[in-house]
A and B are shown apart, each in its own frame.
Chain A
Amino acid sequence: MSDLDLSLARAALDVTPPPGLGAQVEAIASRGMVAIRGDLTDAGFVAALQAATGCAVPEIRQSTQAGDTRVLWMSTDEVMVFCEWGAAPGIVEAFMEKAGDTHVLALDVSDARAVFRVSGEKAWRVLAKGAPVDLAPGQFGTGEIRRTRIATVAAGIVKTGDDEFEVFCFRSLAAYLWNWLCVGAGAESLSDL
């Protein structure tokens, strides 16, 4: 392959939040992602993931982290790596090489999804307007991931800090979910929640 010109890449969404919000919402400009499937308990899988990301296989519905790289539990046979955009092809290559003959699948899916950060004391209330999930403090812990829906959009919710969540959905629905989050984060609507 000839050299790539990464300056030609565009973010899923280039937006700034409207005024009058009671929680912070932002669209994360870029995020590398690798979808990895296989037998999560297989020694070859565990070793390949460790080698490629520095992370252990997360417990069910949890995530693990090493530096800027996080591994999210997606299903009984699937994890998702969050990394810097541009790092994904290297992780795929490292994982596949280390996995050798192990029956696995690793794909760079950095451009398939959009990621939003929702933060603030009422952040969980914003998400609870459309996600049928108990996100209340004390019920949903930092590092936990939940795949669910927000309104009618399939979404993943990761708690990244005390009052901070990352939300991801397919890129084609990014504009919809962004607008939905901005409405839900309205200060007046959060004032009595």
Chain B
Amino acid sequence: MTRLANGGALIDRDTPVSFTFDGKQFRGVKGDTLASAMLANGVKLVNRSYKYHRPRGVVTSGPEEPNGLVNLGSGNRHEPNIRMTQIELFDGLEATSQNRYPSLRNDVGVLNAAASRLYPAGFYYKTFIHPRHAWKYLFEPMIRRIAGLGRAPTEADPDTYEHQYAFCDTLIAGGGASGLLAARRAGEAGGRVMLVEQTERLGGRLLVDDDAEIDGKPAREWVAEQVAALEAMENVTIRLRTCCSAAYDHGYALLYERRTDHTMPTGPRHRLWRVRTKQIIGATGMIERPIPFYGNDFPGVMLASAVRDYVKLWGVAPGQTTVLYTTNDDGYRTALALHEAGCKVAAILDSRADPAGLLVEQAKTAGITVHPSTGIGKTEGTKDGVTAIHTVPLGKGDDVALGEKIDCDCVAMAGGWSPVVHLYSHSGGKVMWDAGRAMYRPDPDNPPRDSSGEAYVRMVGGATGALTTQDVLTSAAGNGEGVSVHGPAEQPTASVWFTPSHGKAALGGKHFLDYQNDVTVADIRLAAREGFESVEHAKRYTTLGMATDQGKLSNINGHAILADTLGKAMPEVGTTTFRPPYTPISMGSIAGQQKGSLFKPFRQTALHEWHAEQGAEFEPVGDWRRPYRYQKGGEGRETSITREIRRVREKVGLLDASTLGKLIVRGPDAGKFLDLMYTNMMSTLKPGKCRYGLMCDDNGFLMDDGVVARLDEQTFLCHTTSGGSDRVHAWMEEWLQTEWFDLKVLTANVTEQWSQFAVAGPNARALLDRLEGDVDFAALPFMGFADGTLGGMPVRVFRISFSGELSYELATPTAFAVSLWELLLGSGDDLGVGPYGTEALHVLRAEKGFIVIGDETDGTVTPHDVGMSWAVSKKKEDFLGKRAMERPDLTRKGRKQLVGLLTEDPNFVLPDGAHALSADGTRAIGHVTSTYHSPTIKRSIAMALIEGGMDRMGEVLEIGIDRKTTVKAVIASPVFYDKDGARQNV
């Protein structure tokens, strides 16, 4: 055990917590993270690296962790690639290591490491190019088996997730020193303030680096005071475990709240906040950089700040003997923290020639040896961790001898600090290279801007590059009242982008830049040599920064190596784009509560439950679900459909046609307007009459069709297709609002006010005549309508037919739909009444050669193409599509035209979409648009769009079925049954 006797601000030593890692039982204490608990158990090896399968331990103590990724949970709660440093321990937690086989300690993939000289950057690109077909069947499956991090879960996620929209004036991302002060000032200024912090605690680095006094108080006391003040403000909301993942355009921010990950689930696991804010204050702090040196990836090699976090926050010593390799004064805080906790600091290696200042002096006073201008030249260790380092002199070129060997089981790296500028960059803010502080920091002259062009993201604290507590708090105070800080002064950083190893770097030691993707200094240099000089190209060639940590630790070092190799300055090389989210967010949180039956809304008619109870098989039609057929007993599809078709042809069938769009168009100019909307004339329609109409867009192509009824002089009722009601209503409004706004016309979508049923078949009138009411069905002429009452229910009866049979459509206010339907069904057992579905409907209309928008049309088809020139007015001066239909391509000979197809074999039903071939078999000359077995004429029928089809009646075509087979079909009229329409006119 490496738990220290004292210290650990976050832990409760008296509350043990038990958990398992790779099936083995471990104990931690309340307040531990999985990372601190494993370290407290003396376990450093927690993972294998992605490419070389090298043993790895945790490097950090926060969300930037590249190595400590585990599978969390099991079964349907299994989740891969979770950072151990962010997992708060709870009783019963199960974690397993990733990317190892058969076990973490004995991993066969480590052979990759032995052969690593053979796997340089770009290896896959170079090696697996030929032969091409081998990629799909050999290389890719093989590589996929070896590579990869965690495994995706295989079962449905039992947890729930949700979204929450929120609005505020100021959103503060980060609850450290600067975030607390900025929130305090914003809260005092009024307005709605949200403060979010990705961890479970407020105070940030002040909880660890507490050597400064703020406003005369110890740092921790000052933090507690700010938190208390903020909690007392009604206009301030604080949310912990909530990460500001993204800052998008115009003040839109995404917050990712990990609601129950620290406990057993109750309620939604994650909540995604979708926030609109006037201002974002990015108090996102900094991330410490590792230092590239040979073997800097042994377990036990960690960021200096993380080492002291483990000591001071969780009372854990990551090692018994530590070597600190630093480039700045701040690193000395780690040595001092270790010393104070009773751990040995074997040496401090400082990149600078003349380290001085209070922290340095304190370390020397504590008896710690400081080696100036010295780095780590080589590391020794086992899979359980580092065992020793060799020093190397810095500033004397790459070809130098190693110095002394120092035994240690922990190396702390203090490579300097990088501001977390992500939120500034997400929506267009620019960053600038600050050579003095060796960092990219936000460029205050190029901030992200909101809809009025004003800056809306302001970074404060460490995120601006401020390095001392005084500077951090001064930037956070903004224009508000500042605070006074007394803390140790610090000397500048001397960054080390590369530490020479034994002899020349080319001797093969691995200096890791990107731990998660196993990218080394040598890889970047190779990329530069091979011409991948752009930072974006080098990134993709080497995969630097492309892992789940998105290069939080590696990018700056990698870009510096690239700049150095190319002999360029950092700003010339530039940096890659920071893209949201800041840390990975769960797929569940993106879906929110819209999963399962709430994934997509389906529109249901009032009869939906009735249909379901009658064995309806539903099909999607637009956003609707309509009964495709009604299954009786165990009958097959064909049987049901044939039964339903014969019912309509021989008796009487009922169709729920409520989904048909119904639009009211009213006003003195309504007729004029509809003349523009439809290809045929509507203004001449008489009140009480119906007319079938076609709608085209201004390309001249069919977009909708339906029956128009004139209710009175000023009022029309336009029926649209089932999928078309919203679209056509919006289409009408678009023309009325944006082009013909001088027309006095008002529209309304009444689709759902009215349920509508087709009563079709030779017995239709007999059935309707039995019902009590005031509609004279016999007197109602074809294409007429009448208002009345039927069985105590209000109805509007249309004499129209889409089946070719005697047919009425009954519309009733939807409240009466179920009652009217049941009345109709219950009134004609002897007449053979029963329901029919959409497939029967489609066969019935195809037998009659009626088109369906979306089947016979595909956005390139004109009314002339489908043989409906009769519905295109020649008298009207203008209508949508008129001018387009005069364009050369729309009038040319040889356009595809609608015809019927009769297969040579009457029992062979053509596949939908099958292509008709030219005489020489080299070219498709058209395709099948609708194809069925017709029980009425007892043979296969089809409609097709064929080049010049109307002039080719009787011609026999070859229709392609698959690559080898064709069948013969003869071109015929698309009206297969009752060609003169006698059946509907009875």
Q: Which residues on A are within 8 Å of B, measured CB to CB?
A: 1-5, 8-12, 30, 35, 37-38, 77, 85, 103-105, 107-113, 125, 128-134, 136, 139, 151-153, 170-173, 175-177, 179-180, 183-184, 186, 188-189, 191-193
Contact = CB atoms under 8 A, between A and B. Distances in A.
Contacts, number: 154
Nearest to A172: B603
18 contacts: A9-B819, A37-B746, A103-B744, A108-B753, A110-B753, A111-B754, A111-B814, A111-B815, A112-B814, A129-B162, A132-B165, A175-B604, A176-B602, A180-B593, A180-B598, A183-B598, A188-B267, A191-B267
A92 B34 CA distance: 68
A188 B752 contact: no
Contacts of A111: 752-754, 813-815
Interface of B: 160, 162-167, 259, 266-268, 274, 276, 592-594, 597-598, 600-606, 608, 624, 664, 666-668, 744, 746-748, 750-754, 772-774, 787-789, 791-794, 813-820
Given A107-B664, A152-B601, A171 B792 contact: no
B595 to A, nearest CB: 10
Nearest to B795: A1
Contact of A131 (B165, B602, B820): B165
B932 to A, nearest CB: 28
Given A5-B792, A37-B746, 19 more contacts: A1-B788, A2-B789, A5-B791, A5-B793, A8-B793, A8-B820, A9-B816, A107-B748, A108-B813, A111-B753, A112-B814, A128-B166, A131-B165, A139-B167, A171-B606, A176-B598, A176-B602, A183-B160, A189-B160
Contacts of A188: 266-268
Contacts of A152: 594, 600-601
Nearest to B602: A176
A176 B667 CA distance: 35
Contact of B793 (A4, A11, A85, A176): A4
Given A77-B746, A111-B815, A151 B753 contact: no
Contacts of A12: 606, 814
A109 B753 contact: yes
A183 B593 contact: yes
A155 to B, nearest CB: 11
Given A9-B819, A112-B752, A184 B746 contact: no
Contact of A172 (B276, B605, B820): B605
B236 to A, nearest CB: 14
B746 A38 contact: yes
A18 B895 CA distance: 59
B269 to A, nearest CB: 10
Given A8-B819, A112-B814, A129-B593, A171 B752 contact: yes
A112 B753 contact: yes
B598 A172 contact: no
B788 A170 contact: no
3 A-B pairs with the lowest CB-CB distances in the bound complex, closest first: A188-B267, A5-B792, A172-B603
A87 B491 CA distance: 82
A179 B813 contact: no
Nearest to A38: B746
A112 B259 contact: no
B865 to A, nearest CB: 33
A109 B664 CA distance: 12
Contacts of B624: 172
Contacts of B163: 129-130
Contacts of A109: 748, 750, 753
A177 B604 CA distance: 12
Contacts of A5: 791-793
Contacts of B668: 103
Given A4-B793, A128-B166, A10 B664 contact: no
Given A103-B668, A132-B165, A171-B606, A186 B746 contact: no
B744 A107 contact: no
A29 to B, nearest CB: 10
A131 B164 CA distance: 9
B773 A2 contact: yes
B819 A105 contact: no
Given A1-B794, A10-B817, A172-B604, A128 B164 contact: yes
Contact of A132 (B160, B274, B772): B274
The winner among A30, A109, A134 for most chain B CB atoms within 10 A is A109
Contacts of A179: 597-598
Given A103-B744, A128-B164, A132-B165, A189 B603 contact: no
A129 B226 CA distance: 31
A74 B810 CA distance: 30
A1 B786 CA distance: 11
A1 B664 contact: no
A30 B744 CA distance: 33
B601 A151 contact: yes
A105 B666 contact: yes
Contact of B752 (A30, A113, A134): A113
Contacts of B752: 111-113, 170-172
Nearest to A176: B601
Contacts of B817: 10
A152 B726 CA distance: 14
A108 B794 CA distance: 13
The winner among A85, A136, A192 for most chain B CB atoms within 10 A is A192
A32 to B, nearest CB: 11
A192 B601 CA distance: 28
Contacts of B753: 107-112
A151 B748 contact: no
A152 B788 CA distance: 37
Nearest to A89: B794
B594 A151 contact: yes
A11 B817 CA distance: 11
B943 to A, nearest CB: 30
Contacts of A77: 746
Contacts of B593: 129-130, 151, 180, 183-184
Nearest to B658: A172
The winner among B259, B608, B752 for most chain A CB atoms within 10 A is B752
Given A108-B753, A109-B753, A180-B593, A4 B792 contact: yes
Contacts of B815: 9-11, 30, 85, 110-111
A170 B664 contact: no
Contacts of A133: 165
A105 B664 contact: yes
B167 A184 contact: no
B366 to A, nearest CB: 45
Contacts of B600: 152
B813 A151 contact: no
Contacts of B820: 8
A129 B166 CA distance: 9
A4 B605 CA distance: 23
A191 B162 CA distance: 13
Nearest to A103: B744
Contacts of B664: 105, 107
Given A108-B753, A151-B594, A172-B605, A4 B818 contact: no
Contacts of B598: 151, 176, 179-180, 183
A170 B164 contact: no
Contact of B794 (A4, A173, A192): A4
B748 A129 contact: no
A107 B162 contact: no
A79 B601 CA distance: 27
Nearest to B192: A136
Given A2-B772, A151-B594, A172-B624, A110 B164 contact: no
Nearest to B666: A105
A132 B252 CA distance: 11
Contact of B746 (A105, A136, A153): A105
A28 B167 CA distance: 30
Given A37-B748, A151-B598, A186-B267, A193 B818 contact: no
A192 B259 contact: yes
Contacts of B606: 10, 12, 171
